[in-house]
Structure 1
Amino acid sequence: MKISTIPLASIALALSLAFPAVAGPARTDIERLGADLTPAGAEKAGSKDGAIPAWDGGLSKAPAGWSPGQPYADPFADEKPLFTITGQNAEQYKDKLSPGLLELLKKYPTFRMPVYPSHRTVALPKAVTDQAKAQADKVEIEGFGVKNLGTSNIPFPIPKTGIEVLWNHLVRYTGGGLEDDYSTFLVRGSGDYSRFGLRLKRIYAGNLEGARDGELMRYMSFYTYPASLEGTIYLVQDPVNQVESSRAAWIYNAGQRRVRRAPDLAYDMITDGSEGMYVVDQVDGYNGAPDRYDWKLLGKKELYVAYNSYKIGDKSLKYADIIQKSSINPDVVRYEPHRVWVVEGTLKSGAKHLYGKRTFYIDEDSWNVLLEDAYDTRGGLWRVGIHGLIQYYDAQVPLYGFNLWHDLTSGGYALYGINNETRAVRKIGTTGKASDFEPDALRRAGTK
């Protein structure tokens, strides 16, 4: 990423005065990275009961017989569940279940959680963790943004506050760029569903020729299905500090054959094809400016989370093998015990958002959001996000294999990011030109 100081807008200046910059950890603490902590800042040791193993470097080699361009092979395909959590035995395991998972187990008789042996597969390139260590005592929180980020993808490897953990997620290493063709399914409480096809190009500043200073990434999202949305394209340009400089977004409307600004493509906006089952800032676990919530770090916890989620990507599966009423087929989800940071966001007085409170459970090894409990403005648990992690071993990148949001009120759910019935394989590490992510390029990309 190319980062430099951006002149502060008046609101950002006010925030910096109200919340002065907080210094990073001492150099003696930073020397723990690679010692008792992993280079990314997780506890290297396993759990006391042995259920979570010690980190031994992660998974950076492909299974035998796999080659680039093939669908990602499951290195643990021969393993069987150690046990299965259901609504009938959930109380026995409640200490390692989030409130959202507990509610799903109670609400839906078909929802169950097969729990497998834990594997700490996350492995990041040495250049990424070296830069994080070099920058760790320089990066600071200022207001709701960061300063002195440099090219770090882990600005706070030894976090002290909730917003520091959240920033680790927002700028985590994702390989620099990716291209993906995938489907999203919206399944209603009745069991009826709609499918939406999308093609995504997302390039971070470090892989983007001509990127501006202070830029985080640019991406285009193309609708390929159904016919009513085919040809619609979203374009987004994200700065690192969206409190200082807002996200810029445009939409190409295929029916009108015109490009227009999309200034509300952030926070709790409902996009085409979501039917309101999730909002913009829930995509990718969490994205965008964190300034509408007060963030509190509740500590670290051992939980059962969706991890090493290769099984759902098996190309021999049809969509009908995955999509079921109330939730996806539980046999295609793998849960493992892992340690997560727990961060709670409470909507600030006077701020607007659908969710009055949200709790994120963020992987200590990769800094990806793995679970979200989203509450309405009256305090009721409303939506539960489950985000299944995969280690893309050829690229040394931990990313999502699927994103799932349950709506406890309607009984429906949204499944995002699977491509079983296509030949598509996610491409990681792609590069691009900034000029290909401008409004004029959006017009040229329009095919209808």
Structure 2
Amino acid sequence: MFRLKRIKFQLYAIAIVPAVLLLAFLTASLALAQVKPGDVITPDNAYKVKDLVSPGVFYKVQQGMEMKIVPSDRVDWPPPYKDATEKYSEQVRLSPDGRTVENYVAGQPFPFLDPNDPKVATKIIWNNVFRPLQTDDYDLRYFSCENVRSGRNVPYRVIDEIDVGHYAGYNEIGRTEVDPMPIDQDFKKTGRYWLFGLYPIMAPEGMRGAGFLRYRYADPKKSDDIWSWNTGTRRLRRLDEGLMSDAVTGSGLPSEGGGNIVVFDPDHYSGFNAKVEEYNYKFLGSKSMLGVVHAAHSPEVTCLTDGGGSACPENWETRQMYIVEATPRHSNASQTLQSRTVLYIDSEVWFPLYEDAYDSQGQLWQDHIYWLTYRDRPVPDARVAIYPFKRSFVVGAAATDVQTGMSAMCYLPSRNTPEKECWYINMGAVDRSFFDPDAMVKAAP
């Protein structure tokens, strides 16, 4: 029976590949007519990439972020994820109201997408949720984010820096590499899709020991459970889910000079991370664009031509992307500062390589860029975090307020850490106990 499913899966793939490849070839040819491998894009020739990136990324190039154009290369899924997709995807459906996913076990829920399907945008978003990047657990050890004023030829000066010990997650469903597989039995009791933890913060000194936890539930009506620990007040605080899209209030991270550090809001940790059911989605098309999925550097390099607001120069290549617009539903629209967010999701990595968020007046407000690499280890000299196959790693991320020029550039791993291997993905590096509020409190000095 399984063999028949595999054959059917492969035949279906063969049937749709010619049309997909033809579309990709035509759009890629158009893109490569404007840029070619070996080109270096600077503010002086930024016009060449205007139609190949989002408005937010184009702004970054105009402000000094340089691109090195390289030949495109493919990214394969981890074999266990691919096997799970073949085994379970046929049974997956959207709920009658089109909002939630049903019968999902592991792998990609919707491997075959029809652009004419009225629910294709929602299916793309669920593919983004259950992406191949980190299916079981992950522990990013020692990363840092620098708050800078970015711009063309602006001197590189760090205003604030935040250093974090662990950026970790544990999935209770969709597990493909580490027992329990494919579903943790705890899911049947709690209904939690995943658990996330960011703690302890190690710098600046005034925030040392602070942390953040978040649980996501399968029930579309159940809000996330969220806690923060503030070492100054020694208080464990429950946070409202509506604050998670606010880059200032949601972070709650005071700077050393007063005000707030400009950081990624929690709904943009690891790309688009909001609760799927609280947004409406519109499919804007599939397009050949530029993105970074084979980054040359890990740790990432500081872009000195834009004040340190990004990583550059890096390897940008032509990628086929799905473009989806996310707008908050009425129930939480009053709490969400972004009127809409446009996601540019890579069709192989299934990760948004960049996102543009717009304010309540419809003006471009924030852009988020992610730099990924594809190899069998997160850093070249790894001794422990080595995998039997290549996988994708996020090595850099930048959030920019285009209305003020303030940027937060994050290095994954940090350039100055006691431990450079950084990404431990699907290695059992963390279990559910790490995500207990008491554990977060005890980890604080």
- Tell me whether the two structures share a fold, i.e. TM-score over 0.5: yes
Instruction: Provide the residue aligned with 2:271 in structure 1.
Output: 285
Residue in 1 that maps onto 2:57: 101
Alignment of 1:397 onto 2:391 = yes
Q: Distance in 2 between matches of 1:212 and 1:35?
A: 36
- 1:133 alignment counterpart: 86
Report what 2:136 is aligned to. 176
* CA–CA distance in structure 2, aligned partners of residues 141 and 420 of structure 1: 43
Give the 3-state SS of the residue equivalent to 1:133 in structure 2.
helix
2:64 is the counterpart of 1:83: no
Q: Which residue of the partner structure matches residue 428 of structure 1?
A: 425
Per the alignment, residue 12 of structure 1 pairs with none
Given the alignment, which residue of 330, 333, 347 partners 2:312?
Answer: 330
Which secondary structure does the structure 1 equivalent of 2:187 belong to?
Answer: coil
The answer as to 2:14 corresponding to 1:35 is: yes
Amino acid at match of 1:195: E
Partner secondary structure for residue 212 of structure 1: helix
Q: Deviations over 1:249-269 (max 9, x none)?
A: 222222333423223363335
Contact 2:322 2:345 in 1 (8 A): yes
> How far does residue 326 in structure 1 lie from its aligned partner after superposition?
6.3
CA contact (8 A) 2:195 2:435 kept: yes
Inter-partner Cα distance in structure 2 for 1:144 and 1:197: 40
- Matched with 2:342 is 359
Which residue number in structure 1 is paired with residue 383 of structure 2?
none
CA deviation map 1:351-380 (0-9, x unaligned): 231111211010100211111111111111
Listed one character per residue, the Cα deviations across residues 309-356 of structure 1 (whole Å, up to 9, x for unaligned) are 231526xx6x6x76951633522x221111001101234456231111
| TM-score, length of structure 1 as denominator length | 0.76
Contact 1:302 1:338 in 2 (8 A): yes
Gaps of 5+ in 2: 30-35, 254-259, 377-386
AA at the equivalent of 1:244: K
Tell me how far apart the structure 1 counterparts of residues 308 and 167 of structure 2 sit (CA, whole Å). Answer: 27
One-letter identity of the residue aligned with 1:311? H
In 1, Cα distance between equivalents of 2:218 and 2:227: 18
* Closer, same or farther: CA 211–402 of 1 in aligned 2, 3 Å: farther
Q: Which amino acid aligns with 1:424?
A: K
* Matching residue within 170, 179, 184 for 1:203: 170
Please tell me whether the aligned partners of residues 89 and 104 of structure 2 are also in contact (alpha carbons under 8 angstroms): no
Residues 407-443 of structure 1: CA distance to partner in whole angstroms, max 9, x if unpaired?
A: 1111121112431222331212132442342233333
**Alignment check: 8 A CA contact 2:299 2:411 kept:** no
Instruction: Output one character per residue of 1:125-168: Cα deviation in whole Å (capped at 9) or x when no partner.
Output: 2x322222333232222346433343223111123411111111
AA at the equivalent of 2:14: A
Amino acid corresponding to residue 158 of structure 1 in structure 2:
F
- SS across alignment from 1:96: coil
Change (3 A) 1:310 1:158: same
Letter in 2 for 1:163: T
Q: Is the 8 A contact 2:295 2:372 kept in 1?
A: yes
Measure, in 2, the Cα distance between the counterparts of 1:247 and 1:392. 33
380-389 or 130-139, which deviates more: 130-139
Alignment CA distance shift 1:370-1:309 (3 Å): same
Q: Secondary structure at the match of 2:344?
A: strand
Could you tell which deviates more after superposition, 346-355 or 359-368? Answer: 346-355
Cα separation, 2, equivalents of 1:400 and 1:31: 30
Residue 47 of structure 2: SS of its match in structure 1?
A: helix
Higher helix share: 2
Give the secondary-structure state (helix, strand or coil) at the position aligned to 1:441: helix
Q: In the TM superposition, what whole-angstrom CA distance separates every residue of 1:19-41 from its partner, at most 9, and x where no partner exists? A: xxxxxxx9998545653668xxx
Q: Deviations over 1:44-70 (max 9, x none)?
A: 679436968xxxxxxxxxxxxxxxxxx
In structure 1, what is the Cα distance between the partners aligned to 2:60 and 2:433? Answer: 45
Q: Give the match for residue 10 of structure 1.
A: none
Answer yes or no: is the 8 Å Cα contact 1:210–1:434 preserved in 2.
no
Moved more, 144-153 or 369-378: 144-153
- 1:380 paired residue number: 363
Partner residue of 2:206 out of 228, 232, 236: 228
Among residues 133, 136, 147, which one is paired with 2:101 in the alignment?
A: 147
Structure 1 distance, partners of 2:168, 2:286, is 34
Work out the CA distance in 2 between the residues paired with 1:162 and 1:388: 24
- Preserved contact between residue 360 and residue 372 of structure 1 (Cα < 8 Å): yes
Q: Which runs of 5+ in 1 are unaligned?
A: 1-25, 53-79
Structure 1 residue 187: Cα displacement: 1.1
1:216-250 Cα shifts (integer Å, max 9, x gaps): 22122111111111111212222244x23221122
CA shift in 2, pair 1:326/1:375, >3 Å? farther
Which residue number in structure 2 is paired with residue 303 of structure 1? 289
1:166 is matched with: 125
Matched residue of 1:335: which SS?
strand
Q: Which residue identity is paired with 1:408?
A: V
Q: Counterpart in 2 of 1:257?
A: 234
Alignment CA distance shift 1:93-1:436 (3 Å) = closer
Q: Which amino acid aligns with 2:354?
A: L
In structure 2, relative to structure 1, the CA distance for the partners of 1:404 and 1:32 (3 Å cut) is: farther
